[in-house]
Amino acid sequence: MTAAPHVLILGGTTEARLLAAALVANTSDRPLLTRITSSLAGRVAQPRLPVGEVRIGGFGGPDGLARWMREQQVDALIDATHPFAGTISFNAASAAATAHVPLLALRRPSWVAGPEDRWHAVASLAGAADALPGLGERVFLTTGRLGLATFAPLTEHWFLVRSVDAPAPPMPPRMEVLLDRGPFSLESEAALLRRHRIEVLVTKDSGGRATAAKLTAAREAGLPVVVVRRPPVPDGVPVAEDVGQVEEWLRTAIG
């Protein structure tokens, strides 16, 4: 009996979990008979695990990933990592080329500013820190715990930092940490902005619905929003925006 094609999904995102669930359930009109392995980086202490086979931890760079895919006879690679997890995306592109495995990136659509939004788009966290003076002193910072060092020199600002796990130094000297995980409702986000007297929101263009309510709350409150633009996917890597597009691509890639 021929073994089912092996699909490796990189990422602990909502989209990665939805994709794994869809492929494991195999209930579409044109089912794909596949073996699914989901790989999580292990940066979150208590991740939400997808269904199916799961491995946690790094591969040891692109060479390690290529070696693992050859050993495990991976037939297709899906990069469903966070839009800002840039290193793993380039490692995936390099490894896929080395191992001759077809690669697709699954990326939720970017957020788009409306006519009433007061967005300030920047290219990096450093750009976000540079943009804050003059926009407000009480900052709702939702860029994750790993980039707080960039904001540490801003001694005149107060930060409300929201992350899944507790951050570690260096951090801004004036801050409060809110440990929480989305999705968040518009009502709760609006109440949070009022309660902490937030004057400016800083976020990454992560896209998706789970954390988009903060943008609506900021718009309704008339607050400026500093948005860090997402990095591009590696050159030549095709992109899907939803699970259905991934399934169509897989039918061509692995038959």
pLDDT band at 41 (very low <50, low <70, confident <90, very high): confident
- pTM higher than the cut 0.75: yes
Q: Give me the chain's average pLDDT, please.
A: 93
pLDDT at residue 108 greater than cutoff 60: yes
Domain topology for 118-228: Rossmann fold (3.40.50)
pLDDT at residue 247 greater than cutoff 70: yes
Cβ–Cβ under 8 Å, residues 20 and 8: no
Query: By percentage, how much of the chain surpasses pLDDT 90?
Result: 79
Every domain of the chain and the residues it spans: 6-109+232-253, 118-228
pLDDT score recorded for residue 48: 83
List, for residues 209-234, the tens digit of each pLDDT value. 878 999 999 999 999 999 999 999 99
Cβ–Cβ under 8 Å, residues 238 and 104: yes
- The whole-angstrom separation of Cα 141 and Cα 228 is 12
pLDDT score recorded for residue 146: 84
List, for residues 128-185, the tens digit of each pLDDT value. 999 999 999 999 999 988 899 999 999 999 999 999 889 999 999 999 999 998 889 9
Q: Say how many C-beta atoms besides its own lie within 10 A of residue 45's C-beta.
A: 8
pLDDT at residue 2 greater than cutoff 70: no
- The whole-angstrom separation of Cα 87 and Cα 231 is 10
pLDDT band at 29 (very low <50, low <70, confident <90, very high): low
pLDDT score recorded for residue 1: 45
CATH class of 6-109+232-253: alpha beta
